Structure formats: structure tokens, C-alpha cells
Structure 1
Amino acid sequence: MSTTTAAVTEQIPSSRTESDPSRIAKSTPRAHIDGVPVYGWGQAPPAFRTQTQLGEMRLKLAEGQPVLAYIRTRKYGDIPLYDPAAAEKMRPLPSSIKARMAKRRTCPECGTVRSSIVHGKRCSVCLEKARKEQNRRAARTCWGCETVRERPLPAAHHRCPDCRSKQLAKQREKAVAWVERVTVCAGEGCSVKLVTKREARAHQRAQGRLDWGSWWRADHWPERCPPCTAAEEQRQAELRAEYERLEQERREAVRRAAEERKRWAAAALVDPNVVVLDTETTGLHGEARIIELAVLSSSGEVLLDTLLNPGEPVPRESSEIHGIKDADLIGAPTFSDVLVQLTGLLDGRRCLIYNAPFDVARLGHELTCHYMDNGAWEPADVAEGRALAWAREQAAAWLDVMVFEDVMVPYSDFVGDWSEYHGNNRWQPLNGGHRAAEDCRAVLDCLRSMGRAYADEYATAATGAGMQVERTS
């Protein structure tokens, strides 16, 4: 027994039954849980162990083993402590498990079994050796030609003699060029001497660190002679004035564009020749078919709202968006069945569409399929592509006579959610419910929000124009 242990044992009162110092707490408990004391960190009896510590000692809790104390922590709460003497020994691990455990702790480079898991990577010792070797190699590598030398290079420049000579030659050229530049007026075509070369070289030496070329013009040295200085100030003033003029023009153009968008929306809402069109499709790819088509007037009147049978299954991912399934399209008309009615609704009118390029492309694809299906083709025409080319020409001719206008871009510019990544305003979602008629009504809502400032003006003008037409008739 050591002297310290003997001293502690002698200080234990005779009335205390506990004689082992390792089982004596270092302070009074902070609290009690069901009569079991709770100690602060480092104050519990040293002999007690947590369940994790028992596992490290190859011990496990015996059945019904009581908790002798708790240790209070901020992160994990109150951790129970147990008596190692009352715990049971674990069964020895099988050799296969020991081998797997050793493999996880074996460094693949040096083959040493470490005390911690290395996860198939190099151990800390090998990593430290590799780091030192990398540093030694970097100290022997020239920064100019990247050649690895036998001995470390000077830490001041890390270059071999040849590269160092080239570096000094470039720096000398730079120093000479700097002297030539600062001694002459910087004005275009002016050769007036401002300072002597002797003064410039003295200024270089005074700055120090010639290797880095860190020289700059002294405050008492003018860059230009008085006439060139006045000319430069005039030029800068003219550039600032030109910039301010262009900036003012840009701001005015932005303001005019915003006003035009608002007036365009307000005028479209009262224009009887304006209709709103929307489609629901089997997807977003180039061969997607239209399965729902709706056309509303500018006042919200439903002119056309129908499902269309595309003649092919609707993908599940598309049905999850708009809710239209194959069963809903049984008995629905085809695009060819409603083409005459659609042509009558769009001919001679302005057709407004949210994301017009997509819907116009879907209309073009449906028209191409219509002309292909309703044409009397010879097999050779189909095989050689003449039929498809003619169908596409007919579809393009149908689209050319129609007037389509996009609402998404003007509305996104109206909202003004700028994206630095795209360098433009972000496209705003329509939020119409992904059904054709509901999306058309959502487009009308976008127009109302855009043209609210001029709604009364254009409504009054439209009412006056209607009264004038009635009087004329």
C-alpha cells in the first residue's frame, strides 16, 4: 500500500463501514433519484463505472444489478454508475470476430494493429509520415520549373539557380520599366519629364524588398504635367456625365417598360378579342400530348373546356400533378374533333398563354399528328419523311395565322424576383391548380394584379367605346 493510500485510510472514521477509498465520494450528492445519490462530474466514487466502461473492461451487468450512483452531465443527463465487482464477465469473443475487429484497426500501409478503427485508411502515424515527406518534397521542389532537387531550396524564393536568375532578370526589367514610366508624364503623347531617374531609383531602394517589385508612386510625384492633369480631369468629368446620362436613360427605359406591362395587362382585360388558353399534357417532353384544353374570354367566360383522348396512356408522374387518369379520358373527344371549334375561337383574336412557348409547341405537335392521321399517304411518302414534312408545314401555317402572347415573362418582370445566377427575374409559378380552366382563371388573376393601376381608366375607355358603337349602329 502506498503512503497516500495509507494516509487516507487512517483518516476514515471508525464509525464508517466503507474502508476502500475508491468507494468514497469526493463531495456530497447534488440530488437523489429514488434514494440513489447524484454526483457532479468527477465527484462520484472512483471505483464505480458506467455501463460503457464495464464493456471496455469486458464486463456486463448482472441480472438485477442495482444502480449505486448517478453522475450528472449537461449533454447526456444523469448517467447511472455500477459496481464492477458485482458485474459478470463477458464470454470470450470468437476468433472470427476478433479477426474482423483487428482488421478494422489494421493500417493498410504499415500493417500495424492500432488501438482505434482506421476505416481502411492510413493510420495517424502513416499520415504524419506522409505529411512530413510531402513537406520535405515541397522544400526541394522549384517554384519555377517544378523540378525536385536533392537538397532543400532557399526558403526566400524556393527556386533553382536557373529559375532564380530568370526571376531576377524579370524583376530588373520591371524595375527599369517602372523607372521609365514614372519619370515621364502619363498623358497620351506627352513626353514632359516629371522627376529624374536618379530620384526614381532612390525611391525604389527606399521601398525595400526589391524581389517583390513592391514600388509605387510617391505622393509628392505628380502622374501628369499640369496641362495633362487638366485634360484628364475634363475627360473624367465627361465620362461621369456620360455614365449618369446612360444610367438615367436606363432607369427611364425600365420605368417605361413597367408602365407598358401594366397598361398591356389592363387593356387585355377589357379587350373582347382577347382569349386565354391553357393545356394539360402527358408530360414535358417534345412528344407530350394534350389531354385537356381550355379557352376563356378576357371576362372569364368559358368558351372551351374539354378533356382530350391522346390515344396513349397517361404517365403516372403526370397524373400525380394534374390528377387526370386514363379512366377519365374514356369517351373523351380527340384533338381533331375540337380542332374546328378551336380554330374559330382563336382566329382573329389575341391568345394569351402562361409560358406560351410550351403550349404553342404542344399545339404544333397535335396539329402535326392531326395532318398525319388524316392524310392519304403512300407507304413511300411515310418512309421517306415527305408526309411528316408536309404535316409540319401545315401545322406551322396554322400557327402562323394565330396571335399568341406570353404572360409568364411580363408577370415575372412585374413581380421582380431577381436572380443573380440567371441574370434575370425568376419565373413565377402560376398556382392555378394544374387544371386547364383553373389555370386560365389564374392567368386572368395575374393580369388583374398587373393592370390594377390602370383598370379604371381602361374600363371607362372600353365602356365609352361600347356606347359609341351602339350609337353608330
Structure 2
Amino acid sequence: MTAYRHAIDRKVAAHEAHLLLQNDFLILDTETIGIDRNARVVQIAIVDASGQPAVDTLVNPGMPIPADAMRIHGITDAMVNDAPSMADLLPSLESLWSTHPTYIYNAEFDSRILLQHIGRRPGLMRSTCIMKLYARFVGQVGSRGDYKWHKLTDACIQLKVPRIDAPAHSALGDCLRTLAVLRAMSEWYVRNSA
């Protein structure tokens, strides 16, 4: 990939971020147990365009939380014991995301996990993957010749996002970090679009 091509892709990605922020949107994140076809949601958060939580709840996955997952997000069986299930939450979640575009850092993962959890595609969810947008913005070529994906925490460091007062690997914290990454790309566009 040429430097010229990357410069164009960077500006296009930043412009897209700028345009995405003009919408009334939601940002969604989940914390899970597992990443395979048996993965389950243990926490879900949705924030609005101003960063205010519309949803921030633990979720009872209907199975024990493995120790390795607990070490990552700190969510225990006792914490989710009285939490609602995804089936309980689904009607209110679908009413939110059916009326607003939904932005997700690693949309393929969260969409797949929701699909597995509820047994069907999340109704009317129009999602945009902020991770892929950020990958175009950075322009680092991966081993397959496409843009390399970056962890959300790395994106925040690279963009010098101010510290967010919510733990990493919490659904709410990751929603707020995704919003901050989107805003930082938009700010880059504004500074460099003269």
C-alpha cells in the first residue's frame, strides 16, 4: 500500500468518523465468557451520542463463569446470579437499536455473540464497526495485505484519549472508549481538512 493511498484512506476514515458523529446514535459493547460458538454475554452496555448510558447491566449467562474470564473482566457468578438474562433484556434492547444506528468496536464479534445468545440476528440492528474504521485511519498493513485491527485500549493510547473513569474490560468503559476514539478521529479530520 502506498503512502498516498494511506493518506487518502486516513482522511476518508476520519471524515466518516466525523459524519457518524452527526447522527443520533448508540454505542454497544458486551463482556462475555468465551469467544467461540458457546460464548455468552455477562455484561452489556449501550451509551447514547453524549456518552450517557441507556443500558448498563450484568447479564446472567445461564452457565458458570470460567475462572479465566473472571480474571479478564472481574465478573463473578455471584454478581450475575440475580441479573436478567439476554432473553429478558432483548425487547428493550431491540427497541433501542432498531431506531438508532449502532456503533461497535469489533462489530462482527459482538453481533455474532448476540446472535448466538438469542438464537437469531438482532432485530433491525444497523451496526458500524469502529475497529475497522480505526484500522483504515491508522493504515498499518496486516499480514493478509489489509489494514491491521487494533485493540480498543491500544487505539486509545495511540490517539492520546484522556483517561476514562471506567475499568477496561467493562462494557460501559469500552462504550465510552469507543466514543472517545470516534471523537478523536473526527477531531483529526477537522484539524486536517483545511
TM bucket, shorter chain: 0.7 to 0.9
The size of the alignment, in residue pairs, is 178
- Does 2:64 align with 1:322? no
**CA shift for structure 1 position 266:** 1.6
Please say if 1:363 is aligned against 2:85.
Answer: no
Q: Which residue of 1 aligns with 2:162?
A: none
Counterpart of 2:18, as a letter, is A
Which residue of 326, 338, 344 corresponds with 2:95?
344
1:311: Cα distance to partner? 1.0
Distance 1:422 1:319 in 2: 33
Q: Deviations over 1:230-282 (max 9, x none)?
A: xxxxxxxxxxxxxxxxx99x93x54443222111112222321x110000111
- Contact 2:9/2:139 (8 A) holds in 1: no
Q: CA deviation at 1:366?
A: 1.6
Does residue 450 of the first structure (1) align with residue 185 of the second (2)? yes
Question: What is the CA distance between 1:449 and its match in structure 2?
Answer: 1.6
CA distance in structure 2 between the partners assigned to 1:327 and 1:341 by the alignment: 24
Q: 1:417 aligns with which of 101, 116, 140?
A: 140
Q: How does 1:140-289 map to 2 (within 5 A)?
A: 251=4, 254-272=6-24, 274-289=25-40
- For the 8 Å contact 2:29–2:44, the answer to whether it is kept is yes
- Do structure 1's residue 428 and structure 2's residue 150 form an aligned pair? yes
Amino acid in the other structure paired with 2:151:
P
Match of 2:164 in 1: none
Distance 2:8 2:96 in 1: 33
Distance of 1:453 and 1:326 partners within structure 2: 42
Aligned-partner Cα distance in 1 for 2:145–2:13: 20
* Stretches of 4+ aligned residues off by more than 6 angstroms: none
Q: Distance in 2 between matches of 1:259 and 1:417?
A: 14
- AA in 2 matched with 1:423: G
> Quick check: 1:408 aligned with 2:131?
yes
Partner of 1:332: 83
Which of 165, 171, 176 is matched with 1:441 structurally?
Answer: 176
AA paired with 1:366?
H
Contact 1:270 1:298 in 2 (8 A): no
SS in structure 2 of the partner of residue 426 of structure 1: coil
Distance 1:412 1:454, change over 3 A: closer
Q: Flag structure 1 segments of 5+ consecutive residues without an equivalent.
A: 1-246, 369-394, 457-473
The residue type equivalent to 1:403 in the other structure is R
Query: How far did residue 454 of structure 1 move?
Result: 4.0
Q: CA contact under 8 A between 2:9 and 2:137: conserved in structure 1?
A: no
TM-score by length of 1: 0.36
- Normalising by structure 2, we get a TM-score of 0.83
> What letter is aligned with 1:428?
H
Check conservation: 1:295, 1:437, Cα contact below 8 A.
yes
Q: CA deviation at 1:455?
A: 4.9
Secondary structure of 2:102's counterpart equals strand
- Report % sequence identity: 33
Question: 1:455 and 1:437 mapped to 2: Cα distance?
Answer: 27
CA RMSD of aligned residues (A): 2.2
State yes or no: 1:308 paired with 2:59.
yes
